[in-house]
Structure 1
Amino acid sequence: MFAFVFTLIVIWLAMWAFFKFMYPKPPKEFMPKKGDVTTPRDCDSCGYPLAEYRGVTEAIPQAQLTEADQAQVAELTTEVEAIRQQILAYEASVNDKAHQKGLTRQQKKQASTQYEQLQKQLFEKNQQLKKMSSWFFCNYDHQADFHANRPK
């Protein structure tokens, strides 16, 4: 019995060492930082999906946006600002201790849920705004190729 357990432990250690050295962790520079957008976005040059923090984002010049796109960007910008104002109002009410004492646990939970929904809406609107008003590239070579091949 002891030999069997000892053999299993030796095999487990050998496999652990093999995988540890065969597949090391990537450097910390390649990992997402706090605040990075990790949802995939397609490269405008090759169509490859890649997280935003790994790619190159470039603003589209206003002259190249159609009037409909410009109107939609303006509408999204006002919606983002309205949501930001709601978030600021919530944060101010959270910091007001007198107001917090008058709320029940359920009201606090509802307010917290509403705040999370506002944060999610803000993120989604910002993503829509980025997709409409910026180009996204996997790397600088794709960015250069895209601009070289684009009709003027």
Structure 2
Amino acid sequence: MASIAVYPGSFDPVTNGHLDIIERSGKVFDHVVVAVLHNRSKTPFFSVDERVAMLEEATNTMGNVEIDSFHGLLVDYMKEKEARTIVRGLRAVSDFEYEMQAASINRKLNPDIETFFMMTNNQYSYLSSSIVKEVAKYEANVSGLVPTVVEKELLKKFANENR
């Protein structure tokens, strides 16, 4: 039986830190589903379709990675995908507290689900989607922080906003 892991998140937008976790997860699991969450409690900068498209382009050379989106509870989505492992990236100790709570409730809802924590590469430990958007808003260079497709989309979005 193939090992299937789900890496959920908002990916608004995907960063090189996310890609690092995706790539490394692909070396551990047979199949990795990167699942963009429709989060009703947040107002996203990019639509779900835009985020999915950027992720598809950024991961198109990773043969065992699938890009998808979902609504509702992650544990329900996991069942739909026949996955038993959630992948979560950790940048700092501050991430761990939230992630531990999320892992605990997911395990309470479905005891068959395990959460796999992966430390980010040190070069991305400061990087977040929020920081990238803030830097891009002021037309600063974000190359090296995000894939090229995201850099182009950020430039387009902010150029349209500044008109």
- Name which structure has the greater RCO, CA cutoff 8 Å, separation 6+: 1
* Rg comparison, structure with higher value: 1
Query: More strand by proportion, 1 or 2?
Result: 2
Query: More helix by proportion, 1 or 2?
Result: 1
The answer to whether the superposition gives a TM-score over 0.5 is no
- With structure 1 as the length reference, what TM-score do the two structures score? 0.24
- With structure 2 as the length reference, what TM-score do the two structures score? 0.22
